[in-house]
Amino acid sequence: MLRPAWIVVMTVVAMALLGCADADRETATLVDAAALAEQGSGDNWLAYGRNFSEQRYSPLAQVNEENVSGLGVAWFVDLPNDRSLVGTPLVVDGVLYYEGSYNVLRAVDATTGELRWEHDPQVIETAGDRLRLFWDYSRGIAFWKGAVYQATMDGRLIAVDARDGSVLWSQMTVDPELPLVITGVPKVFKDKVIIGNGGTEFGPIRGYVTAYDAATGEQAWRWYTVPGNPADGFENEAMAMAAETWTGEWWKYGGGGTVWNGITYDPEFDVVYLGTGNGAPWNRRIRSPDGGDNLFLCSIVALDAETGEYRWHYQTTPGEAWDYNSNMDIVLADLPIGGRQVKALLHAPKNGFFYVIDRETGRLISGEPYARTTWASAIDPGTGRPVEVPGARYEEGGAEIYPSPWGAHSWHAMSYNPETGLVYLPTMDIGAVYSDSGVDIKTWESPDWAFLGTGVELVLDDAETSTSSLKAWDPVEQRAVWEVPLPGVWNAGTLTTAGNLVFQGRADGRLVAYRASDGEVLWRFDLGSGISAPPITYAVDGRQYVSILVGWGAAMPALGTSLSAQHGWAYRVHPRRLVTFALDGEVELPASPPPFFPQPIDAPDFVVDSALAAAGGAIFDGKCSICHGFGAVSGGSAPDLRASPVVPSHEAFVEVVIGGARRPMGMPQFSELSEIQAGALQHYIRAQVPSKP
Ligand code: CA
């Protein structure tokens, strides 16, 4: 097979420059389909889920249940300019690659953390008004042959030379006029790289994925997840089939179905599985007024990897109306079921049911609740469809439903250990009251943000809810084998190893190691800042490391509310770091400040005008709450405005909000606002400050 010319050129140049490193070059791992298909030694962490299987299982066992209590910090890197860090680093032959804030890509020595190179794609410059949609985070990157692939939040897919960080090619994968962003991870297979995007809550958009030639960036194929306007003709037979399941003039609303996270390549069947998103808008009565399943929302869809042609689908939530997208990770595992080894696919989407699917046929093997599910009582094994609870579609007014739009499981990746046969699944128990009372479904127009058409209020005051746990789930028996409660609700993804271990970072800043077989806590380490990223493990020169990015982030810390604010991970108060552990690691981690709860500042001269505050509230909900938090209660992603000295000063506030004074730091510019509207915002924010007795 011919290697792309750039690899040949690069290798020659590198060999000339490095000379004595020739021997290393000979033994360097070729990251290709063969490498990504196998379990390997575990030395490398080659892909988001370590390899094609997405199992996040490592065969390394130097660190194990007997000695894990001896883990200490081997090295760390302070990341003072980073904020939300939720990504999975990759390790290839002793070099660790990861993305920081605004997709700044770095390569460091995996044994010391020493920086090799950094590539800044200048996201703030490129994003324009789409900065308003951003939560400033990325879940990770891909590696194929000699290149690292990153998808920037503003929608570019960029191939970077793994040796020096120089750009090989860059493609814009979205129409910059549409409210689409990328937080997800490009996936690679057979000289192709595939990426989706997100944005169903931001406006009328139609989900799709695009596959590109990994060497050139040329588009190979694109596949839409929902049908467009029939008058324009359908792209393929699958879209014609899907259109039969929609009613009314759905295309005017885009339909949704974005693929913002779960994409898994299966080398055994040469297919790509997509996990598709929720409807746009959420309310089916608006987007498809006479009902219908609305394919391919909230589904697993199998596509031919070569051509992008539809193979099969399984829809987890037909006629979606609760934001129950199926974007969660898709794990491949061979399971003993019914006396044979079944090539299965494991999926725990937001809707609270754990699905085991025969990935050869797309047929449901089993689906059982892994969390409280009051919208449906069961999955009918005959039809594979949920048995919905009457009233769950809030057709008779407000309905309290579990799970909430946060899901019983979000993108925080689960892991699967073939030794224990268990899936390690971070789960949440949060409810919400859904209602479309007062929404005229015939004339509905979307506000700036929140393309929902449904009112949603989280159930936050019930001591029994808004909890979370780590569940060790037996996918064959469909039951929890062990379960441990977790702090808050926003806990990170898991890693499991042949050392009979499960590692998980938590909302309270602890990285914890459990015995994989029974859930006993064997080791914990306080990292001094909320953790939202999953750990990885790798080995260099025979020494095993465990590495994790530390930086409270993603949607919940952005949207705020007490669910996030309860931990006291205030904006820029606590350290952001890349921390790596090894047995007998002896590096001292500098102490972190204790949890900090921003206190509203005094502004005795600022007298709140309630009418202005009310007007400002509507603007705040549409433009500000997505980063500064509902009710101006920051969850840690952005400053808590109740504590901001900028807010009481009209001049300073106008300079930031209308003038864009802090745009270089990522604060969007709202030049369309009048000074009167900015003033209304000030009054709204100050009205959220509790008055002194
Ligand atoms: Ca959604």
Ligand 1 centre to CA of 24 (Å) is: 46
- The DSSP symbol for 542 reads T
Q: Answer whether residue 5 shows pLDDT above 70.
A: no
Asked whether residue 614 is domain-assigned, the answer is: yes
Asked whether residue 623 is domain-assigned, the answer is: yes
Average pLDDT over residues 404-419: 98
| CATH code, 678 | 1.10.760.10
Q: Which of 136, 323, 329, 429 is catalytic?
A: 323
Q: Answer whether residue 394 shows pLDDT above 70.
A: yes
N-to-C CA span, the chain: 77
Asked whether residue 631 is domain-assigned, the answer is: yes
Asked whether residue 680 is domain-assigned, the answer is: yes
pLDDT for residue 454: 92
Rounded Cα–Cα distance for residues 316 and 276 (Å): 10
* Cis before 594 (ω within 30): no
Rounded Cα–Cα distance for residues 171 and 164 (Å): 20
Q: Answer whether residue 19 shows pLDDT above 80.
A: no
At 554, the amino acid letter reads A
Q: What percent of the chain has pLDDT over 90?
A: 88
Ligand 1 centre to CA of 475 (Å) is: 26
User: At 448, is the pLDDT very low, low, confident or very high (cuts 50, 70, 90)?
Assistant: low
* Residue 94, C-beta contacts closer than 8 angstroms, at least 6 positions apart: 109, 110, 111, 540, 541
pLDDT for residue 129: 86
Asked whether residue 674 is domain-assigned, the answer is: yes
Please name which of 328, 330, 320 lies closest in space to residue 349, comparing C-alpha atoms: 328
323 labelled catalytic: yes
Lowest mean pLDDT among 252-261, 305-314, 434-443: 434-443
Asked whether residue 667 is domain-assigned, the answer is: yes
Rounded Cα–Cα distance for residues 187 and 224 (Å): 17
Q: Answer whether residue 150 shows pLDDT above 80.
A: yes
Q: Answer whether residue 8 shows pLDDT above 50.
A: no
User: At 300, is the pLDDT very low, low, confident or very high (cuts 50, 70, 90)?
Assistant: very high
Q: Coil, strand or helix: which one is 105?
A: strand
How many structural domains compose the chain?
1
Residue 430 structure tokens: 């949060």
Ligand 1 centre to CA of 72 (Å) is: 38
Ligand 1 centre to CA of 498 (Å) is: 35
What distances in angstroms separate CA 284 from CA 408, 453, 552, 676, one per listed residue?
21, 9, 33, 37
Which H or E run contains 618?
A: helix 610-623
Burial bucket for residue 665 (CB in 10 Å: 0-12, 13-18, 19+): exposed
Q: What confidence tens digit (pLDDT) does each residue in 619-646 have?
A: 999 899 999 999 999 999 899 999 999 9
Alpha helices in 501-605 (DSSP H): 555-559, 562-565
Residue 618 structure tokens: 């509507």
Asked whether residue 397 is domain-assigned, the answer is: no
Q: Answer whether residue 16 shows pLDDT above 50.
A: no
Q: Which domain holds residue 665?
A: 610-687
Rounded Cα–Cα distance for residues 449 and 516 (Å): 42
Asked whether residue 256 is domain-assigned, the answer is: no
User: At 26, is the pLDDT very low, low, confident or very high (cuts 50, 70, 90)?
Assistant: low
Classify each residue of 500-529 as buried b or exposed e, where b means 16 or more C-beta atoms within 10 Å of its C-beta.
Answer: bbbbbbbbbbbbbbbbbbebeebbebebbb
